[in-house]
Chains A and B, each alone.
Chain A
Amino acid sequence: MILAATMGPEPYLILGAILFTMGAVGLLIRRNALVMFMCIELMLNAVNLSFVAIARQLDDIGGQIAVFFVLVVAAAEVVVGLGIIVSIFRRRQGATADDLSVLKG
């Protein structure tokens, strides 16, 4: 432990809540599919921050293990998601989610 005294987890949890909300709002208000994807990453990172803060509070390494797995799942998700985006938007001009209206009827 480098620091003699430590803060409680509450400031980290509040920061995580704010970041999560910003990601959720960005996901709802942006139209570009890639930016929506970045907002999802933002939400995942907010949750990671909470995991690590709680791990230190409870003195349990399991929270950091959970973050490790979230990282792996995020990487796999980005690979598949960007593959889908590339295959959809390869022949289109824009990458906005409104262009995907095939099911509108």
Chain B
Amino acid sequence: MLAEQFVFVIGALICLLGAAGVIGFRNPVHSALSLVTTLFGIAVLFIALDAEFLAAVQIIVYAGAIVVMFLFVIMLLGVDQTDDIGFEPLKGQRPAAIVAGALLVVGLVAIIVLGAITGEGSANAEIQAKVPNVEQLARSLFTDYLFAFEITSILLVIGVVGAVTLARHRREAFIDQDLPHDELPEPDPTPAGEVAP
């Protein structure tokens, strides 16, 4: 057995168990921790595929930042109570979703097994075994993909501004749009930082 096959089997098992946990656990906190498991398995597979930089970034950004932010929001909203999985608001949606998923996976696997991978690697982005992975990524990122990289910085600024705008605590009148109201309610007297009752 090849060493890579061994690593692949272990990594794939970690990924699949984590993914099953994400959609199976009732508690969102458990789902978030299962997501960490899957992300870690994918990082292992990245190393098996000679993408060391991406494996490190996967752990740092996904497991370290994104999942922690998920957990932070779960705790902030206080929604860490268990989810009622049995309740089905749309009749027949869940069996339909599972059938559609089965069809999707059968179709995708059929394409992978029956089809062949076509296409050519580009001439100036060839992976060289002697050059470290980080150096090759950096060379490509700051030459061929420089414009996309700069656009990415604009995207991140927009994301920060959007998050601040959305999550800011507004002081003006709060209207619960689910309730019928004839006139606007009084402005919220609760000072910022306190949780409204």
- Show the binding face of A for B, using Cβ within 8 Å: 1-3, 5-7, 9-15, 17-26, 28-32, 34-35, 37-39, 41-42, 45, 48-49, 52-62, 64-65, 67-69, 71-80, 82-87, 89-91, 94-96, 98, 101-102
In the complex, which residues of chain A have a beta carbon less than 8 angstroms from the beta carbon of B127?
Answer: 55-56, 59-61
Task: From A10, A31, A55, A84, give the contact of B89 (CB < 8 A).
Answer: A31
CB distance from B127 to the nearest CB of A (A): 5
Q: Quick one: closest B residue to A37, CB to CB?
A: B70
Q: Quick one: closest A residue to B157, CB to CB?
A: A76
Q: Could you tell me if B8 and A7 are in contact, using CB atoms closer than 8 angstroms?
A: yes
CA distance A56 to B159 in the complex (A): 32
CB distance from B116 to the nearest CB of A (A): 10
CA distance A24 to B101 in the complex (A): 7
Known: A14-B112, A52-B54, A60-B126. A38 touches B31 (CB 8 A): yes
Q: Could you tell me if A45 and B79 are in contact, using CB atoms closer than 8 angstroms?
A: no
In the complex, which residues of chain A have a beta carbon less than 8 angstroms from the beta carbon of B32?
Answer: 34, 38
29 inter-chain pairs at a CB distance below 8 angstroms, sorted by A residue, are A1-B50, A2-B50, A5-B2, A11-B8, A12-B49, A17-B109, A18-B105, A18-B109, A25-B97, A25-B101, A29-B23, A29-B94, A30-B23, A35-B28, A35-B31, A45-B62, A52-B51, A56-B49, A59-B121, A61-B126, A68-B57, A69-B152, A76-B156, A80-B166, A83-B162, A83-B166, A95-B28, A95-B77, A98-B89
Q: Could you tell me if A65 and B97 are in contact, using CB atoms closer than 8 angstroms?
A: no
B66 at the interface (CB under 8 A from A): yes
In the complex, which residues of chain B have a beta carbon less than 8 angstroms from the beta carbon of A21?
Answer: 101, 104-105, 108
Say whether chain B's binding surface is mostly helix, strand, loop, or mixed. Answer: helix
Say whether chain A's binding surface is mostly helix, strand, loop, or mixed. Answer: helix
Q: Quick one: closest A residue to B123, CB to CB?
A: A60
Q: How many residues of B contact A (CB 8 A)?
A: 88
CA distance A7 to B76 in the complex (A): 45
Q: Could you tell me if A64 and B12 are in contact, using CB atoms closer than 8 angstroms?
A: no
List B residues 1-58 near A (Cβ within 8 Å): 2-5, 8, 12, 15-16, 19-20, 22-23, 28, 31-32, 35, 38-39, 42, 45-46, 49-51, 53-54, 57-58
- Show the binding face of B for A, using Cβ within 8 Å: 2-5, 8, 12, 15-16, 19-20, 22-23, 28, 31-32, 35, 38-39, 42, 45-46, 49-51, 53-54, 57-58, 61-62, 65-66, 69-70, 73-74, 76-77, 79, 83, 87, 89, 93-94, 97-98, 100-101, 104-105, 108-109, 112-113, 117, 119-122, 125-127, 129, 133, 136-137, 140-141, 144-145, 148, 152, 155-156, 158-160, 162-167, 174, 176-178, 196
Known: A59-B127, A79-B162, A102-B178. A7 touches B4 (CB 8 A): yes
